């Protein structure tokens, strides 16, 4: 910090020269700004303070007795700091102050000609931290003239008096606390509901009871710092910087880089200690699940569906070969091994649904199947085989969040709600169902039908409403965990993302080949930031939720990929089921040499948007 030669001399000379200190103090507080003017945020210009600082450094031992004319001229011609430069200096100063490097902050402010905060704000801060409430209240009148919204003074005064009141109560000064409540807080005529709550704290028998009921940390630095943070929100940043402002900006920058990273698929850590600020955030595609880890070949015909359990420990696959295979996921290696085979589905298995607690698994067949199987996965026993009529078509199913009911239906007009024993609880007539989903409220069911739409049905009050309307048949759909977004596979169109709350089409994803086969896509990855879908061109496509172009195309299957499922607990693990009779398990790339990396990149093409 010696670009203008002043810093070193200040450090050597000021400690023994009160006159120099007074000069610099005056300059720092804006008293010398009349010669050159001051910025709108109260920061003194660099030129005026630079000259003052330079002139004041000649009185210390070992320093020149006077500044030469050429040096003084160069100081006067010193470039005036821009607003952005002043802001950066203030941010650095605040951060250093938080680290306890106060002498460094003083030197930085003196040499730059900046001011960390307005003198009135500094007084206000000190009085609050010392618990001098009357003085802090008087400071508000000075700050009022500096505020964009003078009406905020009432809110600030209320917060300040509330802290004063609570501290009196904690100290056992009940009469003083009562005076603050009646004579100072109540006359403000602000937030009367809160005043009623505060009055109730008078009944607290001891300090611990007060802190618990008020959800307050008690008298001291911690609660006063929190109060100061709240009060600061009413002051313009030119008067007092927001708390930990540099830290906040750096965290926002890191989060923005992560948001823009197409392959970021790990748990977000908001701590800056977990990242390097010296490098931009970049995730490699090789960390992404686009490398074949396993090929499961135990099915002997087309595999129509696959679904990981809710806890991510198992994968269920359904096939035209009439079986459901349940696979166990190794928690360490993430390798899958056959755990249980469920047989006897005469028409094949085209849809599977895990119960919320993963105890049960329901299997449905294709269009000409009128039966539904409810298996106890833990024991391998068939609990229920349900069929209301031989003319039914039960092709889709969805669990109620309570795990005690499910809805099922098909394209021949069946739409039922049943219990675990297959007993009919409710039915909806005349709805030709293509796909079903139960929302988290436990009452609403979404159903796509043959009219190219998704409607919401309420079995309690027997109401229905239109939510999504497409121009082409909706072959399947799935809903995000928060119930806000729906992912649709639309015949001849591909994959569409809809906002169910606003009822608008958000995005159409490109690349996938979708005809009139039923293909099931899915959300996946951490925070469900990614979307994956099978395709009739034998590939698996992966998109970032915000980007229409695929970030990866996975090759390996030799026929249509009917279904993909992303492990909900292992974001780097994904499964795909295909008409080629195999299930592929996708994960990150292993450690590869150069030749293998080139081959891998060919098999996992990427189109960054």
| Span 190-200, pLDDT tens digits | 999 999 999 99
Does residue 358 register a pLDDT over 80? yes
List 381's β-bridge partners, or say none.
Answer: 376
| Together in a domain, 373 and 404 | yes
What are 424-460's pLDDT values in tens digits?
A: 998 888 889 999 999 988 889 999 999 999 999 998 8
End-to-end CA distance of the chain: 43
Domain range for 136 is 117-243
pLDDT at 53: 38
Does residue 602 register a pLDDT over 50? no
Neighbour tally for 41: CB within 10 Å: 17
How big, in percent rounded to 5, are the helix, strand and coil portions of the chain? 30, 25, 45
Taking residues 536-563, what's their average pLDDT? 95
Taking residues 353-366, what's their average pLDDT? 96
Does residue 64 register a pLDDT over 50? no
Taking residues 47-54, what's their average pLDDT? 38
What are 169-224's pLDDT values in tens digits?
A: 999 999 999 999 999 999 999 999 999 999 999 998 889 999 999 999 999 999 99
Total residue length of the chain: 609
| Together in a domain, 290 and 381 | no
More confident residue, 329 or 54: 329
DSSP 71-103: HHHHHHTPPPPPHHHHHHHHHHHHHHHHTT-HH
Does residue 289 register a pLDDT over 60? yes
How far apart are alpha carbons 182 and 478 in whole angstroms? 58
User: Per mean pLDDT, which range of 346-355, 380-389, 401-410 is the poorest?
Assistant: 380-389
| Together in a domain, 127 and 236 | yes
The H or E element that residue 565 is part of is: strand 561-566
Taking residues 360-367, what's their average pLDDT? 94
| Together in a domain, 492 and 436 | no
DSSP 507-541: EEE-S----SS--B-EEESGGG-EEEE--TTS-EE
**pLDDT above 70 coverage of the chain, percent:** 84
Taking residues 554-558, what's their average pLDDT? 96
Cα 452 vs. chain centroid, distance in angstroms? 33
How far apart are alpha carbons 85 and 484 in whole angstroms? 43
Q: Which two tokens stand for residue 374?
A: 């409810």
Inter-residue contact 512 to 535 (CB < 8 Å): yes
Domain boundary among 243, 273, 300: 243
Residue 393, domain CATH: 2.130.10.10
List 361's β-bridge partners, or say none.
Answer: 354, 375
The H or E element that residue 355 is part of is: none
Position 227 in a domain:
yes
| Together in a domain, 382 and 406 | yes
Task: Count structural domains, the chain.
Answer: 3
What are 236-287's pLDDT values in tens digits?
A: 888 888 888 999 999 888 888 877 777 777 776 667 777 778 878 777 778 8
Neighbour tally for 591: CB within 10 Å: 7
Position 338 in a domain:
no
How far apart are alpha carbons 441 and 463 in whole angstroms? 15
Taking residues 288-307, what's their average pLDDT? 95
How far apart are alpha carbons 285 and 600 in whole angstroms? 11
Position 441 in a domain:
yes
Neighbour tally for 157: CB within 10 Å: 18
At 36 the three-state DSSP class reads coil
Taking residues 92-104, what's their average pLDDT? 92
| Together in a domain, 483 and 461 | no
Confidence band (pLDDT; 50, 70, 90) for 596? Answer: very low
| Together in a domain, 487 and 530 | yes
| Together in a domain, 228 and 206 | yes
Taking residues 53-64, what's their average pLDDT? 40
Domain boundary among 431, 447, 469: 469
How far apart are alpha carbons 170 and 205 in whole angstroms? 10
Neighbour tally for 239: CB within 10 Å: 20
pLDDT at 269: 64
DSSP 483-505: SSEEEEEETTTEEEEEETTTTEE
**pLDDT above 90 coverage of the chain, percent:** 60
pLDDT at 52: 36
How far apart are alpha carbons 140 and 119 in whole angstroms? 13
Position 6 in a domain:
no
More confident residue, 193 or 27: 193
Position 426 in a domain:
yes
Position 531 in a domain:
yes
- Of 107, 79, 115, which is closest to residue 10 (Cα–Cα)? 107
Taking residues 524-547, what's their average pLDDT? 93
Does residue 553 register a pLDDT over 90? yes
pLDDT at 497: 97
| Together in a domain, 460 and 479 | no
| Together in a domain, 125 and 200 | yes
Does residue 36 register a pLDDT over 70? no
Inter-residue contact 564 to 522 (CB < 8 Å): yes
Max Cα distance, the chain (Å): 109
| Together in a domain, 131 and 238 | yes
**What are the angstrom distances between the C-alpha of 212 and each of 74, 170, 173, 388?**
62, 12, 18, 57
Strands, E assignment, 222-290: none
Confidence band (pLDDT; 50, 70, 90) for 6? Answer: very low
pLDDT at 430: 81
Reading phi first (left if > 0) and then psi (alpha if -120 to 50, else beta), residue 597 is in alpha
Position 608 in a domain:
no
Neighbour tally for 26: CB within 10 Å: 14
Cα 225 vs. chain centroid, distance in angstroms? 27
| Together in a domain, 486 and 586 | yes
More confident residue, 155 or 260: 155
What are 510-531's pLDDT values in tens digits?
A: 999 988 899 999 999 888 999 9
Position 53 in a domain:
no
Domain boundary among 421, 445, 469: 469
């Amino acid at each position: 910090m010696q670009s203008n030669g002043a810093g070193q001399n200040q450090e050597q000379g000021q400690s023994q020269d009160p006159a120099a200190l007074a000069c610099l103090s005056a300059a720092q507080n804006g008293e010398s700004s009349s010669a050159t003017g001051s910025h709108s945020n109260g920061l003194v210009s660099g030129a005026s303070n630079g000259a003052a600082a330079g002139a004041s450094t000649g009185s210390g031992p070992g320093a020149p007795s006077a500044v030469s004319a050429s040096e003084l001229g160069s100081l006067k011609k010193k470039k005036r700091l821009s607003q952005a430069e002043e802001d950066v200096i203030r941010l650095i100063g605040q951060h250093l102050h938080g680290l306890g490097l106060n002498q460094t902050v003083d030197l930085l402010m003196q040499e730059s000609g900046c001011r960390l905060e307005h003198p009135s704000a500094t007084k206000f801060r000190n009085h609050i931290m010392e618990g001098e409430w009357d003085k802090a209240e008087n400071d508000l009148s000075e700050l009022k003239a500096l505020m964009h919204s003078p009406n905020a003074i009432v809110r600030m005064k209320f917060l300040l008096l509330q802290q004063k009141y609570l501290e009196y109560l904690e100290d056992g000064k009940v009469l003083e606390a009562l005076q603050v409540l009646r004579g100072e807080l109540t006359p403000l005529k602000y937030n009367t509901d809160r005043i009623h709550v505060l009055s109730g704290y008078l009944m607290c028998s001891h300090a611990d009871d007060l802190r618990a009921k008020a959800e307050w940390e008690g008298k001291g630095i911690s609660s006063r710092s929190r109060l100061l943070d709240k009060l600061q929100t009413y002051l313009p940043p030119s008067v007092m910087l927001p708390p930990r402002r540099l830290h906040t900006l750096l965290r926002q920058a890191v989060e923005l880089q992560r948001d823009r990273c197409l392959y970021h698929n790990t748990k977000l850590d908001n701590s800056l200690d977990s990242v390097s600020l010296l490098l931009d955030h970049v995730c490699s595609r090789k960390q992404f699940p686009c490398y074949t880890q396993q090929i499961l070949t135990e099915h002997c015909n087309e595999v129509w569906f696959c679904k990981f359990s809710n806890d991510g420990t198992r994968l269920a696959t359904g096939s035209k070969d009439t079986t459901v295979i349940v696979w166990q996921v190794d928690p360490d290696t993430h390798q899958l091994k056959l755990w249980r085979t469920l047989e006897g589905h005469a028409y094949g298995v085209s849809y599977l649904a895990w119960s919320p607690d993963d105890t049960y698994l329901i299997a449905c067949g294709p269009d000409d199947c009128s039966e539904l199987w409810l298996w106890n996965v833990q024991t391998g026993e068939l609990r229920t085989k349900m069929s209301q009529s031989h003319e039914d078509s039960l092709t889709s199913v969805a669990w109620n969040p309570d795990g005690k009911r499910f809805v099922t239906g098909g394209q021949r007009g069946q739409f039922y709600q049943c219990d675990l024993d297959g007993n009919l609880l409710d039915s909806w007539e005349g709805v030709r169902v293509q796909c079903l989903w139960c929302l988290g409220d436990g009452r609403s069911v979404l159903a796509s039908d043959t009219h190219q739409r998704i409607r919401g049905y309420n079995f309690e009050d027997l109401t229905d409403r239109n939510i999504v309307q497409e121009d082409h048949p909706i072959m399947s759909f799935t809903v995000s965990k928060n119930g806000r977004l729906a992912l649709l596979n639309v015949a001849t169109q591909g994959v569409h993302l809809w906002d169910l709350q606003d009822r608008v089409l958000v995005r159409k994803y490109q690349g996938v080949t979708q005809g009139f086969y039923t293909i099931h896509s899915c959300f996946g990855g951490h925070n469900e930031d990614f979307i994956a879908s099978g395709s009739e061109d034998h590939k698996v496509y992966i998109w970032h939720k915000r980007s229409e172009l695929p970030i990866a195309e996975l090759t390996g299957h030799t026929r249509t990929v009917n279904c993909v499922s992303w492990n909900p607990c292992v974001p780097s693990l994904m499964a795909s089921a295909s008409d080629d009779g195999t299930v592929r398990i996708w994960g990150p790339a292993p450690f590869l040499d150069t030749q293998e990396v080139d081959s891998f990149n060919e098999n996992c093409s990427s189109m960054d948007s």
